[in-house]
Amino acid sequence: FFTFHFLLPFIIAATVMVHLLFLHQTGSNNPLGINSNMDKIPFHPYFTFKDIMGFSILITVLVLISIFHPYTLGDPENFIPANPLVTPVHIQPE
């Protein structure tokens, strides 16, 4: 189990490298079959804006959760008041 979790990132990285190698050797093909440069969508203004908007929405949601509901993802045992007269069971004197 540990070996699988240790080796899997290296296998994925090697697969990505082989994929990029083959992609750069032969070039990518358009599934729509469009060969004209006029019909293609440029990367920078469209996909950059889309990625920035997705990142902004994600950060906004995370900030709103952390501001308005800070204890939502916390451990419920942190809200139990401490009793100074009782030692917890899992603590044993040495």
Q: Could you tell me if residue 52 is inside a domain?
A: yes
Name the pTM for this structure. Answer: 0.50
DSSP single-letter state for residue 89: T
Q: pLDDT band at 18, cuts 50/70/90?
A: very high
Q: How sure is the predictor about 44, in pLDDT bands with cuts at 50, 70 and 90?
A: confident
Residues tagged active-site: 24, 28, 50-51, 94
Is residue 35 assigned to a domain?
A: no
Residue 29 has pLDDT above 70, yes or no: no
Q: Which two tokens stand for residue 1?
A: 């189990």
**Does residue 5 belong to any structural domain of this protein?**
no
Alpha helices in 27-87 (DSSP H): 43-68
Does 56 map to a domain?
Answer: yes
- Residue 20 to residues 11, 40, 70, Cα–Cα distance (Å): 14, 22, 42
Domain total in the chain: 1
Find the domain containing 65 and state its range: 45-69
